[in-house]
Copies of this chain bind each other. A is one copy, B any other.
Amino acid sequence: MTQKTSLKNRITKLFNIEYPIIQGGMVWCAGWELASAVSNAGGLGIIGSGSMYPNVLKDQIIKCQAATSRPFAVNVPLLYPSVEEHMQTIVDLGVPIVFTSAGSPKIWTSHLKAKGITVVHVVSSSKFAIKSEEAGVDAVVAEGFEAGGHNGREETTSMCLIPAVSSISSIPVIAAGGLHDGRSVLAAMILGADGVQMGSRFVACEESSAHIAFKEAVIGAGEGATSLTLKEITPVRMLHNPLYKKLAEAQQRGASIDELTEILGRGRAKRGMFEGDLIEGELEIGQIASLLEGIPSASEIIDEIVSEYRDLGAKKLGEKFNF
């Protein structure tokens, strides 16, 4: 692919990609198969390192590099215990782009930038978007309340967050939360975003490493089937399954943080999303699950989004819309 330098979209230029469509770095779902498939389809694929031991991440990056010649990124949750080893691996193997989340962008941004790496930080408020820009990141992801997985406490939705973050940022803004098709991509860009990130849509994708039972639960989810819960510990949006109900009941009767932590236990996300235990596992997914149909391939997803986006007449709206 040759870069289309005539285009003015700041995200396609920043990452040297064809479409400003970025796949989320979801734990247990976003391995090299998914990341390389998204990048090969013209978007930006991301390896989600939050569920990987250092040697696993190394292996995943090497496999991804073998599977695509296009840019891809690694997502690193900054509170992850192996963050130093992960960052070393990323630098050593020449990964061009890092998405950081769940922590302060101050700690790692300048280090990564000094190595020539493009850095993007995920935020759920304007306040942290400002801090991220001050820390020197190249772009921010503004993630709304409707998104799956870990999320902010202020509960600001994409409809309110995208214009808020866009209006105070001079760097490009990537919208996330509630997006899944060409209409929502165009809506997010009209609200002020330069690009989009989708997690849930790529969970239920052929190349996602999520367990098939979880993928089927995602596309089978109805409206209102998720909640942002565990606000006492770390807010996370999950599907209403027996584990969720157990936690909700405990919260209802005023359980302590210790008790909630004990009910949650360890390894629940792997158990639910990777091993397919829909009863006892933690199933992280966004509200948009209710609108997802089928388990297409990454290239089918991207082609469908781009085709719908173009059919809406998006290109008529200006240079940044022209992809």
Report which A residues bind B (CB closer than 8 A). Answer: 125-127, 144-146, 153-160, 163-164, 167, 177-179, 181, 183-184, 186-188, 190-192, 223-224, 227-228, 253-254, 287-288, 290-291, 312-313, 316-318
Tell me the smallest distance from the CB of A159 to a CB of chain B, in Å: 3
Cβ contact within 8 Å between A184 and B164:
no
Minimum CB distance partner of A158 in chain B: B159
Cβ contact within 8 Å between A223 and B154:
yes
Which chain B residues lie closer than 8 Å to A178 at the CB level?
Answer: 157, 159-160
Bound CA–CA A145/B228 (angstroms): 12
| Cross-chain contact of A146 among B159, B181, B183, B190 (Cβ < 8 A) | B159
Bound CA–CA A178/B146 (angstroms): 13
**Known A291-B164, A318-B313; contact A159-B183, beta-carbon cutoff 8 A:** no
| Cross-chain contact of A223 among B127, B228, B316 (Cβ < 8 A) | B127
Cβ contact within 8 Å between A190 and B186:
yes
| Cross-chain contact of A145 among B145, B187, B191, B288 (Cβ < 8 A) | B145
Tell me the smallest distance from the CB of A91 to a CB of chain B, in Å: 35
Bound CA–CA A223/B165 (angstroms): 10
Which 8 A-B residue pairings sit nearest by Cβ, starting from the closest?
A: A154-B224, A159-B178, A254-B254, A187-B187, A157-B157, A316-B316, A146-B157, A160-B287
Tell me the smallest distance from the CB of A255 to a CB of chain B, in Å: 9
Tell me the smallest distance from the CB of A319 to a CB of chain B, in Å: 12
**Known A163-B183, A190-B312, A313-B317; contact A157-B287, beta-carbon cutoff 8 A:** yes
Number of copies: 2
Tell me the smallest distance from the CB of A293 to a CB of chain B, in Å: 11
Bound CA–CA A226/B317 (angstroms): 33
Minimum CB distance partner of A125 in chain B: B223
Tell me the smallest distance from the CB of A24 to a CB of chain B, in Å: 15
**Known A183-B163, A184-B191, A190-B312; contact A223-B317, beta-carbon cutoff 8 A:** no
Which chain B residues lie closer than 8 Å to A223 at the CB level?
Answer: 125-127, 154, 156, 160, 164
Cβ contact within 8 Å between A287 and B183:
no
Which chain B residues lie closer than 8 Å to A156 at the CB level?
Answer: 146, 223-224, 287
Tell me the smallest distance from the CB of A259 to a CB of chain B, in Å: 13
Cβ contact within 8 Å between B127 and A164:
no
